Chain A
Amino acid sequence: MAGIVIIGAGHAGTQAAASLREGGYAGALTLVSADHDLPYHKPPLSKSFMKTADTPLQPLRGPSYFSDKNIDLRLGETVTAVDAGAKSVAFADGQTLAYDKLVLALGTVARQLDVPGAKLGGVVCLRTADDARRMRARLSGVSSAVVIGGGFIGLETAAMLNARGISVVVLEAAPEVLGRAVSAQTAATVREGLVASGVTVHRGATLERISGQGGQVQAVVTGDGQSIPADLVIVGIGAIPVTDLAETAGLAVENGILVDGAMRTNDPDIFAIGDCVSFPQAQIGQRVRLESVQNATDQARAVAQTLKGKPEPFTALPWFWSDIGEMKLQIAGLNHGATRQIVCLGETGVRAVFHMRDGALAAVETLNEPGIHMLSRRLLALGITPEEGQMTAGDLAGMKQLLRERVPA
């Protein structure tokens, strides 16, 4: 029996393998990863992994886990094509592997910068352990850095570099950082926090070129002619879903591999999960592609259920976190289609923003308010909307009362 083959051993693929075994699947199970490292946590790469030159990766599972669970973990192997007719995958070295069911957990790749100088030494992106190692190896000699892109990875990295005493400039093309991911109010508070800690943030910035000498970066030149010195440039301008294998298999692709609510593609024997899929999202009633650990692991559990022959509608509430220096940004729910924001302010700006859609609570962003975040996840999952006064006051006790009226402790 060829069994189940999972391609990609990030958060999604690894959890899918684990959930299949936890669910009692005893057949052949192969987990293929192009990465050479034992599957690891991605979020720490921009933060704790950079602390010292020898901080180890944080593994998703212990070193003996995969053999203990009889999971054939194939590291450092790249799959180049899927033959959906023959039900087999082909590797870069020419070998093939048959499957009964195939799970694609391919993730994303970093969007590449398209300006002169983008290939200079010292211009890096941050997606994989290898990217992080390359960046870390340079850090001791860096005195100034430019971060291109004010998204989550860019801002987390900017805060980390700044905390190490490196002079950091963030260039963001849009009028505000963090794009549409959070409300304008939350984004402004995050930006102000970064600026207060010493990071320079240029909004509405355009990029002319990156200049260097001897193949190494020296400065970033902006559209208005400024030359900003940099011995390290971090490119964080978004991610692109990996769909090439899906295309070789003839699967439907549109901003990610298209799956239904049970993680099934249009091929009955191929499934897809995580950052690389576009799926019908239950709370907002439309297709989205989400890049988060929560989405990856919850979809992994869902595909395990489907493969067990017991598909369940995928209704997991999205949640997300980003540690930007001392700021703990957390998001519960999705703000798509929200028409009104109720803001709870503290001394340093936003404590929480409550997004309302059709008069009901749809999403909650918090800054350094883990209690409100955790409670909001419960409220959203149960469809409870607090009173406006409770939201503007950030009244944890009052909102907790609403939860307890519905679900006693």
Chain B
Amino acid sequence: MTKIVFIEPDGTQKTVEALEGASLMLAATMGGVEGIAAECGGNCVCATCHCLVLEGPVESLSEMGEDEKDTLEFSAEKIFENSRLTCQLEACPEMDGLVFKVVGK
């Protein structure tokens, strides 16, 4: 099982299990991570699953597509070099141990 750590807006650390092939946003939702509204359900249109990649096997993350880039850039929140939309990240075993900080909405 791939374990992913999310640090919630208030600093609480939550470890969730991600199913291979499903998005990290879904793993966070199912695991009850605070601050990820995931309003559009993973369509890359709301940016409410915005997280920062903090540490772990970051090389396992897929490259950012144009949709994700645009959605992040023009969302109302401030974006950072390590910003990602977790709905666009498909879980794989290599991601085990990744740590994200929730930005959310």
- Contacts from A to B (Cβ < 8 Å): 11, 15, 18, 41, 43-44, 58-65, 68, 293-294, 297, 319, 321, 323, 330, 370-371, 373-375, 377-378, 381, 400, 403, 409
Sorted from nearest, which 8 A-B pairs have the closest CB atoms?
A371-B70, A374-B74, A41-B41, A62-B30, A62-B32, A375-B74, A370-B67, A370-B70
- Asked whether A370 lies within 8 Å of B71 as measured between CB atoms, the reply is yes
- Asked whether A321 lies within 8 Å of B30 as measured between CB atoms, the reply is no
A11's nearest neighbour on chain B, judged by CB, is B39
In the bound complex, residues from chain B placing their C-beta under 8 Å from that of A377 are 74
Q: Is the interface of B mostly helix, strand, loop or mixed?
A: loop
In the bound complex, residues from chain A placing their C-beta under 8 Å from that of B73 are 371, 374, 400, 409
Interface CB pairs A-B, < 8 A, 26:
A11-B39, A18-B37, A41-B41, A58-B42, A59-B29, A59-B30, A60-B29, A62-B29, A62-B31, A62-B32, A64-B32, A293-B41, A321-B43, A370-B66, A370-B67, A371-B70, A374-B73, A374-B74, A375-B70, A375-B74, A378-B74, A378-B76, A400-B73, A400-B74, A403-B74, A409-B73
Given A371-B74, A381-B76, list of 19 further CB < 8 A pairs?
A18-B37, A58-B26, A58-B41, A58-B42, A59-B29, A62-B29, A62-B32, A65-B32, A68-B32, A323-B43, A370-B67, A371-B66, A371-B69, A371-B73, A373-B45, A374-B71, A375-B74, A377-B74, A409-B73
B24 → chain A, closest Cβ, in Å? Answer: 14
A65's nearest neighbour on chain B, judged by CB, is B32
In the bound complex, residues from chain B placing their C-beta under 8 Å from that of A293 are 39-41
B22 → chain A, closest Cβ, in Å? Answer: 10
A293 to B43, CA, bound (A): 12
A8 to B22, CA, bound (A): 28
A374 to B71, CA, bound (A): 6
A64's nearest neighbour on chain B, judged by CB, is B32
**Chain B 38-71, CB within 8 Å of chain A: the 1/0 string?**
0111111110000000000000000000110111
- Asked whether B37 lies within 8 Å of A297 as measured between CB atoms, the reply is yes
A148 to B93, CA, bound (A): 44
Tell me if B82 counts as interface (CB < 8 A to partner A). no
A19 to B32, CA, bound (A): 14
Tell me if B13 counts as interface (CB < 8 A to partner A). no
A233 to B12, CA, bound (A): 50
Q: A61-B32, A370-B71 are in contact. Are A297 and B66 (CB under 8 A)?
A: no
- Asked whether B30 lies within 8 Å of A294 as measured between CB atoms, the reply is no
A59 to B42, CA, bound (A): 12
A117 → chain B, closest Cβ, in Å? Answer: 34
B33 → chain A, closest Cβ, in Å? Answer: 8
- Asked whether A297 lies within 8 Å of B39 as measured between CB atoms, the reply is yes
In the bound complex, residues from chain B placing their C-beta under 8 Å from that of A323 are 43
In the bound complex, residues from chain A placing their C-beta under 8 Å from that of B30 are 59, 62-63
A373 to B45, CA, bound (A): 9
A232 → chain B, closest Cβ, in Å? Answer: 25
- Asked whether A44 lies within 8 Å of B76 as measured between CB atoms, the reply is no
A374 to B77, CA, bound (A): 12
A80 to B40, CA, bound (A): 31
A293's nearest neighbour on chain B, judged by CB, is B39
B4 → chain A, closest Cβ, in Å? Answer: 14
A214 to B31, CA, bound (A): 47
- Asked whether B41 lies within 8 Å of A43 as measured between CB atoms, the reply is yes
A381 to B67, CA, bound (A): 21
B98 → chain A, closest Cβ, in Å? Answer: 19
Q: Which listed residue, A294, A381, A400, touches B39 by the CB 8 Å rule?
A: A294
A257 → chain B, closest Cβ, in Å? Answer: 23
A267 → chain B, closest Cβ, in Å? Answer: 29
- Asked whether B32 lies within 8 Å of A43 as measured between CB atoms, the reply is no
B74's nearest neighbour on chain A, judged by CB, is A374
